[in-house]
Amino acid sequence: MITVPADPFPYAFPPGKVALIVIDMQRDFVEPGGFGESLGNDVSLLRAIIPTVAELIALFRREGWPVIHTREGHLADLSDCPPSKIRRGKPSLRIGDAGPMGRIMVRGEPGNAIIPELAPIEGEIVIDKPGKGAFYATSLGADLERLGITHLVFAGVTTEVCVQTTMREANDRGYDCLLIEDATESYFPSYKAATVSMIAAQGAIVGCVAPLAALSTAVEKSEAA
C-alpha cells in the first residue's frame, strides 16, 4: 500500500488498483468561447491548474496506472440532452447553438475536445458523458470493473459540479476516493473551498483530500523503500 498524508486522515491505496480520473479539462470549460464562458464565467481561473494536472497525469503515466479522461457533451441531435438543461443558461448562447468553437457542448466539435496541454495518449480511456457525473449513462463503471480498480484519484473542473458529482457517484459504488485539491478548480473560489471541505467532512464522507505534492512524495518514498 502507498499512504498519502491527507485530510481528514491518510489515504492508502494499492498501486495496482488505482486510476486517475481527469474531469472535463475540455476547451468548452477552459478556453474562451465555450460553454463555461457562455454561462457568464471567467475561464481564466481554470487555466491556472493546467500545469498541476499535467504533472499528476505524468505521475500516473510514469507508474503505468490508468488515466481516464472525461468530456461533458451531447449527441449532435441533442437527444441525450434534457430540455431542462438546454433551457438553463444564457438565452443568447445555449447547448447546441453555434459558438466560436463550434456548436456548444456537442460531441466532436472543436470546443468539446480536451485541451491540447492535457490531451489523452494512445490507450487511455475517454468517457463522453451527457451528465455532470461520469458514471451516468457511460461505460465508466464497467471499465473500472474490467481494470480491477478499487481506488480513484480525482482532478479537473469544476470542483463543485462535475468533479464532486462524479466523486459522489464513485463513493456510492464503493470506490475509495482522493481529490487532488490543487488539480481541481471552480469559476467560484468560495464554491471550491466549500466543496473541498464538505468532501472531507464527517470522516471523509465523500473522500480524502490532499495536494499533489503529498501524493508525489508518497509515491517516491514507496519506490525508494
Length of the chain: 225
29 binding ligand C5J? (CB under 6 A) = yes
106 binding ligand C5J? (CB under 6 A) = no
For the annotated catalytic residues, the residue numbers are: 24, 129, 162
**C-alpha to C-alpha distance for 139 and 160, rounded to whole angstroms:** 23
Whichever of 52 and 158 has its CB closer to ligand C5J, that residue is: 158
20 binding ligand C5J? (CB under 6 A) = no
Least distance CB 22 / ligand C5J (angstroms) = 11
* Total of chain residues touching ligand C5J, rule CB under 6 A: 8
In the shown chain, the binding pattern of residues 129 to 168 toward ligand C5J, with x for contact by CB under 6 A and - for none, equals ---x------------------------xx--xx------
72 binding ligand C5J? (CB under 6 A) = yes
43 binding ligand C5J? (CB under 6 A) = no
Whichever of 4 and 53 has its CB closer to ligand C5J, that residue is: 53
38 binding ligand C5J? (CB under 6 A) = no
**C-alpha to C-alpha distance for 84 and 62, rounded to whole angstroms:** 42
21 binding ligand C5J? (CB under 6 A) = no
Contact 101, 110 (CB under 8 A): yes
Least distance CB 186 / ligand C5J (angstroms) = 8
Least distance CB 116 / ligand C5J (angstroms) = 18
Instruction: Output the CA angle 74-76-78, nearest 5 degrees.
Output: 55
Q: What is the DSSP string of the chain?
A: -EEE--BSS-EEE-GGGEEEEEE--BHHHHSTTSHHHHTT--THHHHTTHHHHHHHHHHHHHHT--EEEEEE-B-TT-TTS-HHHHHSS-TTS-TTSEEBTEETTBTTSGGGSBPGGG---TT-EEEEESSSSSSTTSSHHHHHHHHT--EEEEEEE-IIIIIHHHHHHHHHTT-EEEEEEEEEE-SSHHHHHHHHHHHHHHHHSS-EEE-HHHHHHHHHHHHH-
Least distance CB 105 / ligand C5J (angstroms) = 9
Least distance CB 118 / ligand C5J (angstroms) = 14
169 binding ligand C5J? (CB under 6 A) = no
Whichever of 25 and 59 has its CB closer to ligand C5J, that residue is: 25
Which residues sit at the interface with ligand C5J, rule CB under 6 A?
A: 24, 29, 72, 132, 157-158, 161-162
